[in-house]
Every structure is written in structure tokens, then in C-alpha cells.
Amino acid sequence: MIDWNPDLYLKFGKERTLPSKDLISRIGLENPARILDIGCGSGNSTNELKKRWPNAEIIGIDNSSTMIEKAQLLYPEIDFRLMDATEDLSSLGKFDIVFSNAAIQRMTGHEELIKKWYALLNTGGTIAIQLPLADDIKGQQALYELEYVKKYKPYFEGKKLRFNNHKPTFYYDVLSHLSTAKDIQIWTTTYMHVMQGFEGILQWYESTSMKDYLNALPSDEFRENFKNNYLIKLKNVYSLRADGSVLFNYKRLFVVASKSK
């Protein structure tokens, strides 16, 4: 089992933290007492929350032990806990902000999850979620296409390898039913990450989506072959700039909704 590799994940720490900052910038609360970061990973999103609201009690939860250990090492002053976000979280109490950056796409049943997470809010609280929109990310689609290659196919059958995401309107509809304040912000941003060649995109995915594919394959030889075929696919959909960089378009959806006072 290939668990998350926090060091490889943090190789792109700047790019991966940017959406957290953008999401935080749209939360209007000045003095939240308690904040929950769901799928906190190695703590970079949680640390941004701490920087914005240094006096708040912040809890970060994640179901990867390697990620939680790294978060505890990097930010010992924050309370990180190994927990599955799809389970009952009511024992954690109520929060003024329920935050989740780039994690819900790893979970299924988004309507139920969002309802459950919204129920953790105090009155006047805010829920804020960001997730990638995989349909519009060519590097993600290139990965999905490799599922159909004959020699890999049997190893991927029955496995849940893809991100889970719905269209933006789905999240609006779920939140507009919930948000008693009727105060919803929803937007998309396509980041253009400047990557060091095609290998840069390969490394980006090796620490996230691709790890589940590599994990399913039977040997290192297969894994190397898979990565080489992925590089070929990337070369078909992206082009090198004159300085050797590749502009990696990455579309993300953001939703922020409030509960009335």
C-alpha cells in the first residue's frame, strides 16, 4: 500500500497552498473561536487558517497516518488527529468554520457529507470547501485514459481510482438548501502552474492521484512503464515553453456558505 508521501506532496507546497489562501480570503468571520480543517494533509491548509486566525482553536483531521505525523512535526502547536472525515464527527463539537481544501474529491456521497459537515457549524458559522474539477484538467484526463490500456486494465478493475466531483450547480443546490443565511459564494479558478517540464506534472501526480494507480500495479517494472506512458500522454496535450516550462492548467471549484445567527 502506497500511503501519501508528504515530502513529495510538499514539493509543490506553494501551488497546493494557494487555493487555501484564496478560500480563506472569502470567509468573512473576524473572530471564530473554533475551526475544523477536514482532510488537512500535512497541515499546510491548517497553518494558513492559524495564520489568519491565530487566536482560534483549530483542529485538523485526516485519515492518513503519514500526513498526520508530518503535520504534527511541522506544526506542533496545532491539534491534528487521525480521523476519517466520512464518519460521525460530532464528538469534535461545534465549529465556527468548517473548512476543507482539496480533500472531498477523495470521498463519495458529497451531498450527505456536506450536510453532515454543515451540521457541525455553530449559528453564524461558515462552511468553505474547495475541490478540483477533474473534467477540465488535461493531466487528470490523461491519467484516466491509461485505465483502458489493455495490459493495465485487469489491475484497475473494481478499484476506485478517480476523483469524485460533480458540476458546480450540484454544490450550489446542496448548499442553497442548507444555508439558512442564504449567503453563498461559488466560483472557479483555473491556476496556471509553471512546471519544470513534463516531468514536473508527473511528479505532481505521483504524490496524489497517480499513487493509487501505481499501488494497483504488480511490479516496479509495470510502474515505470505506466509512468513512461503517462509522460507520452502529457506530451500530446501540453507544450513546452521556450524556457523548458509547461503551463499546467488546474481548475478548482470553491464554495462558501453561512448559517444564520
Ligand X SMILES: C[S@@+](CC[C@H](N)C(=O)[O-])C[C@H]1O[C@@H](n2cnc3c(N)ncnc32)[C@H](O)[C@@H]1O
The torsion angles phi and psi of 74, rounded to 5 degrees, stand at -75, -35
Strand ranges across the sheet with 245-258: 79-82, 57-62, 34-38, 95-101, 121-132, 245-258, 184-196
For the chain, where are the E strands, in sequence order? 34-38, 57-62, 79-82, 95-101, 121-132, 184-196, 245-258
Give the residue with the Cβ less far from ligand X, 152 or 163. 163
Give the residue with the Cβ less far from ligand X, 84 or 145. 84
Give the residue with the Cβ less far from ligand X, 152 or 193. 193
Least distance to ligand X, CB of residue 239, Å: 26
Least distance to ligand X, CB of residue 180, Å: 26
Give the residue carrying C-alpha cell 501519501: 4
Task: Determine contact, residues 53/61, Cβ cutoff 8 Å.
Answer: no
Give the residue with the Cβ less far from ligand X, 69 or 183. 69
Least distance to ligand X, CB of residue 102, Å: 4
DSSP-derived 3-state class of residue 258? strand
Least distance to ligand X, CB of residue 70, Å: 9
What number of residues does the chain have? Answer: 261
Task: Determine contact, residues 123/187, Cβ cutoff 8 Å.
Answer: no
Interacting residues toward ligand X by CB under 6 A: 4, 16, 20, 39-41, 44-45, 61-64, 67, 84-86, 101-103, 106-107, 208
Give the residue with the Cβ less far from ligand X, 116 or 235. 116
Task: Determine contact, residues 101/19, Cβ cutoff 8 Å.
Answer: yes
DSSP-derived 3-state class of residue 126? strand
Strand partners, 31: none
Give residue number: closest CB to ligand X: 41
Least distance to ligand X, CB of residue 185, Å: 19
Least distance to ligand X, CB of residue 44, Å: 5
Give the residue with the Cβ less far from ligand X, 61 or 257. 61
